[in-house]
Structure 1
Amino acid sequence: MARNNRVVIPESRTMLKQMKYEIAAEFGLYGANYGGGADTEFASELGALGDSGSSNHSPYLGHLSSRDNGSVGGEITKRLVKQAEQALFL
Structure 2
Amino acid sequence: MARGRSSNQLLVPEARAVLEQMKYEVATELGIQLPNDGYYGYMTTRDMGLIGGNITRRLVQIAEQQLGIRI
Q: Shared fold by TM > 0.5?
A: yes
Instruction: Identify which of 7, 11, 16 aligns with 2:14.
Output: 11
**Is 1:73 paired with 2:52?**
yes
Shift of 1:59: 4.8
- How many angstroms apart in 2 are the aligned matches of 1:74 and 1:8? 20
**One-letter identity of the residue aligned with 1:85:** E
The Cα RMSD (Å) is: 2.4
Name segments (4+ residues, structure 1) moved above 6 Å. Answer: none
Q: Percent identity?
A: 44
| Aligned residue pairs, count | 64
- How many angstroms apart in 1 are the aligned matches of 2:14 and 2:39? 26
Question: For residues 65 and 80 of structure 1, do their structure 2 counterparts lie closer, same or farther at Cα, with a shift above 3 Å needed?
Answer: same
Gaps of 5+ in 2: none
**Is 1:85 paired with 2:30?**
no
